Amino acid sequence: MLIEGCEIVATMDDGGTEIAGGSILVEDGRISWVGGGRPPGSTQDVERISGNGCVAVPGLVNTHHHLYQTMTRVRAQDRGLFDWLVELYPVWAGLNEEWVRAGARVGLAELALSGCSTSTDHHYVFPSRGGDLLAAEVDAAREIGLRFHPCRGSMDLGVSAGGLPPDEIVETTDDALARTEEAIERFHDPAPGSMLRVGVAPCSPFSVTERLMRESADLARRFGVRLHTHIAETLDEERHCLERFGRRPLEMLEEWGWLGSDVWLAHCVQLDEKDVRRIAETSTGAAWCPTSNLRLGSGIAPARALLDAGARVGLGVDGSASNDSGDLLAEARQAMLVSRVRDGAAALSAREALQVATRGGAACLGREDVGSLEVGKRADIALFPVDGLAFAGADVDPVAGLVFARPGRVRHLVVDGAAVVRDGHLANADETEIAREGHAVARRIAEGAGG
Ligand SMILES: [Zn+2]
């Protein structure tokens, strides 16, 4: 495949190379050449994609999501995290395969159309009669064509034992660990260029036991898979940790063996200076979810301080019950703007926001084979149109324009060398049918009939 004649190719390599009029040659799912002019050798028989009027960037990487929540958007509209969860848990108790499949198809389609080529998911609600929920979302990712890192989440601390979730949606510790091990054995592909990797992800300090946290870390390390959880999201959570464990959230995680280069943590909003330093020193990743943190009134993560300390920082849209949108380029814009409210107008540049959304996310997920447009990397490439109305007038710097101007739909998205979005439409699935299914399932949930 030859992607030719882009307005600009923004490679996001170490030097921040940007090539006006650049082209990209893809062979066997990998980038084999990037440059201006024509690639070496014959390109007579290759599939061609015009980059005319487009900025090419690495496919964006989404580091935190709960795809099932896509079916419960716009609920608990004016609540903070704990009250929001308490209102939503009983609804989520009705989760089943149909619900998860519809939510994953809608959520992943939205992400693809916003230029996202790799997404994680954090699924932690497994009602006893819910069915094969992880398989349902893995199928959806294969259908759309995205690189997928589903996390087998878990909760084992119900309300009767001092947790926040109702007892009927938590598992026993033994069941959670056994099902997580099964998920790794069934789905995880560690090979370079993998399209499917599984993570281990107990949910949050107020829904898990210390034993589940410690043994999940052991399990993940035995299999060489990554660890993920929610931490330092709100002050309520910090108070809960101080009361229950006598430690602040990050201190507690460290004590449980949960800081390290194989861990990435969602939110990291309520951090002090020492927490920031420990995250950086231990090469732990931070999945920054600015829109969700604003929506729930949680706060603004110290992303500038984390980046300055040398931490790995990626972006997450978070679940669609607390973002209500799954647009990852819009999240890069949100990240840039909200950083400026916290730390001043120079806090985060447009290019830094794009770096976080691409290379930063890849680093959180432990992927050295994606996140930049360089020879040898997998061919995950997003082509955003900059020739339309929203960019008329942004011609002086179309790369920055991607973040400053109104984010729009990607024109083409290539994942592992295959088209996932072509001319603004899903290449492998029917957007109209996915939306119709999503509306139908969401209506059944609203009527109280589960999925
Ligand atoms: Zn989350």
Q: Could you read off the pLDDT of 307-321 as tens digits, one per residue?
A: 999 999 999 999 999
206 CA distance to ligand 1 centroid (A)? Answer: 13
Structure tokens at 357: 């959304």
Residue 344 has pLDDT above 50, yes or no: yes
Q: Could you read off the pLDDT of 247-269 as tens digits, one per residue?
A: 999 999 999 999 999 999 999 99
Task: Count CA within 13 A, CB hemisphere, residue 24.
Answer: 36
Q: Which residues surround ligand 1, an ion (CB under 5 A)?
A: 318
257 CA distance to ligand 1 centroid (A)? Answer: 21
pLDDT value, residue 449:
63
20 CA distance to ligand 1 centroid (A)? Answer: 38
Q: What is the mean pLDDT of residues 399-414?
A: 96
Per DSSP, the three-state class of 102 is helix
Output the average pLDDT for the chain.
97
191 CA distance to ligand 1 centroid (A)? Answer: 27
230 CA distance to ligand 1 centroid (A)? Answer: 6
423 CA distance to ligand 1 centroid (A)? Answer: 32
Q: Could you read off the pLDDT of 379-394 as tens digits, one per residue?
A: 999 999 999 999 999 9
Structure tokens at 121: 């998911």
How does DSSP classify residue 372? S
Contact 225, 233 (CB under 8 A): no
Residue 37's pLDDT band (cuts 50, 70, 90):
confident
347 CA distance to ligand 1 centroid (A)? Answer: 25
Residue 177 has pLDDT above 60, yes or no: yes
407 CA distance to ligand 1 centroid (A)? Answer: 23
Q: Tell me how far CA of residue 440 lies from CA of 98, 104, 186, 229, 432, in angstroms.
A: 11, 14, 31, 31, 12
pLDDT value, residue 407:
83
Comparing 37 with 163, which gets the higher pLDDT?
163
377 CA distance to ligand 1 centroid (A)? Answer: 29
Q: What is the mean pLDDT of residues 358-380?
A: 98
Distance in angstroms (rounded) separating the CA atoms of residues 242 and 236: 10
pLDDT more than 70, % of the chain:
99
Q: Could you read off the pLDDT of 220-237 as tens digits, one per residue?
A: 999 999 999 999 999 999
170 CA distance to ligand 1 centroid (A)? Answer: 17
**Residue 412: beta bridge partners?**
383
Residue 197 has pLDDT above 50, yes or no: yes
